[in-house]
Amino acid sequence: MLLTLIRKEFLLNIMTAKFLIAVILCEALIISSVFILRGNTLQRQSRYVKNLQSHDETLEKIKVFSQLRPIIDRPPSPLGFMCIGVEGQVGDAAVISYDEVPHELLSLQGGDNPLLAVFSPIDIARVIQVVLSLLAVLLVYDSISGERERGTLSLSLSNPLSRGKLMAGKYLGGMATLTASLLFGLLSGLAVVLLFPSVSLNGEDWTRIGLIFLSSLLYLSFWTTLGLFISARSSRSSTSLMVSLFLWLTLVVLLPDGMRYLAGQLRPIQDRSAVDAKVEALNREMWKVIWDKAVFTGYRRYFPEPIPASAPGSWSRRGDTGRR
């Protein structure tokens, strides 16, 4: 009986116009985003290899320890075509220097895909977050309230079917529909990557893709469960739809940006000039300690007394800076 109910819900869902529109929109967004982000990932990897070679050649030319400034390059994520994350918001290299306070990561990539400068970047994670979650809401908002209005709910419960099995069948039927949509979307996105010369994926990357799939199912399960709960507690399907859309709009669209704004208000980020002033003060304190420790005049010649440079955050040292 439960399998029959699951099959019925699955077939009813895939034959609706909202399912067809959502799947077409989901596929179009996933394929286009993967195609764009795949090229961007390839460009980042190419620049990473060039920067790595350039920095290695620079290190080989250094003969004096005081001129040593090794640069640590951060490789781009091979799964950048699936989820952008914060990779584009942080730098790609860190400079290690004995005479400078560590700074934030430097951005050495530059020149990424120009399409990302025109259009807002959309990745698979964003499509799942918005499109598939909305599809989950639209699939189950009238599962209980709609049948109550049509009078078919009492007919279903007149059979040897408990309420728990009824809810389980509707939940599993909705999740089967969403799982098929999600799996089809992920496979089409991976096909764009694998069918063209692109990023190579190892076993760890495939494990992460599997975890993304499972976490996406858990996310869609939340919206399916919430929609069923609202539908069961509503007497009319229109009421269930309005409440479900209100919660979806609040949790998916408004809450992320709202929490970011609230966090900025509760704990404001320091101004860049204040951070530069702290770095400058640390540099002065560090060189003052070096100057005070250099008790011998001959040793002080290699660590002259520091003076602040004209540019904020930079330093120059008075006197001779090396062995003549």
pLDDT band for position 190 (50/70/90)? confident
Distance, in Å, from the CA atom of 186 to the CA atom of 208, rounded to the nearest integer, reads 13
The pLDDT value recorded for residue 319 is: 42
Mean pLDDT calculated for residue range 309-318: 43
Mean pLDDT calculated for residue range 43-58: 84
The pLDDT value recorded for residue 94 is: 79
In a domain, 39, yes or no: no
In a domain, 30, yes or no: no
pLDDT higher than threshold 60 for residue 323: no
**Inter-axis angle of helices 203-233 and 163-194, nearest 10:** 150
- Residue 190 token pair: 């991976």
The pLDDT value recorded for residue 163 is: 79
Contact 24, 135 (CB under 8 A): no
Weakest-pLDDT range from 159-163, 210-214, 223-227: 159-163
pLDDT higher than threshold 70 for residue 252: yes
Distance, in Å, from the CA atom of 239 to the CA atom of 148, rounded to the nearest integer, reads 13
In a domain, 202, yes or no: no
Q: pLDDT over 70 for what percent of the chain?
A: 77
In a domain, 291, yes or no: yes
pLDDT higher than threshold 90 for residue 315: no
Number of domains in the chain: 1
Mean pLDDT calculated for residue range 184-201: 80
Domain assignment of residue 305, given as a range: 274-313
Mean pLDDT calculated for residue range 31-42: 82
**Tally of residues, the chain:** 324
pLDDT higher than threshold 70 for residue 107: no
Please write the tens of the pLDDT for every residue from 61-80: 887 776 777 888 888 888 88
pTM of the shown model: 0.73
In a domain, 223, yes or no: no
In a domain, 295, yes or no: yes
Distance, in Å, from the CA atom of 174 to the CA atom of 194, rounded to the nearest integer, reads 30
pLDDT band for position 247 (50/70/90)? very high
Which long-range contacts link 68-76 to residues 24+ away (Cβ below 8 Å)? 68/98, 69/95, 69/96, 69/97, 70/95, 70/96, 71/95, 71/96, 72/96, 73/48, 73/108, 74/48, 74/105, 75/45, 75/48, 76/41, 76/44, 76/45, 76/48
The pLDDT value recorded for residue 220 is: 94
The pLDDT value recorded for residue 225 is: 93
In a domain, 86, yes or no: no
In a domain, 178, yes or no: no
Please write the tens of the pLDDT for every residue from 263-293: 777 877 777 788 778 878 887 777 777 666 6
Distance, in Å, from the CA atom of 219 to the CA atom of 275, rounded to the nearest integer, reads 39
Mean pLDDT calculated for residue range 101-118: 55
What sign has the CA pseudo-torsion 204, 206, 212, 217? Answer: negative
Please write the tens of the pLDDT for every residue from 131-181: 999 999 998 888 888 888 887 777 777 777 777 888 888 899 999 999 999
Mean pLDDT score of the chain:
78
Mean pLDDT calculated for residue range 224-232: 92
Instruction: Say how many C-beta atoms besides its own lie within 10 A of residue 87's C-beta.
Output: 16
The pLDDT value recorded for residue 324 is: 33
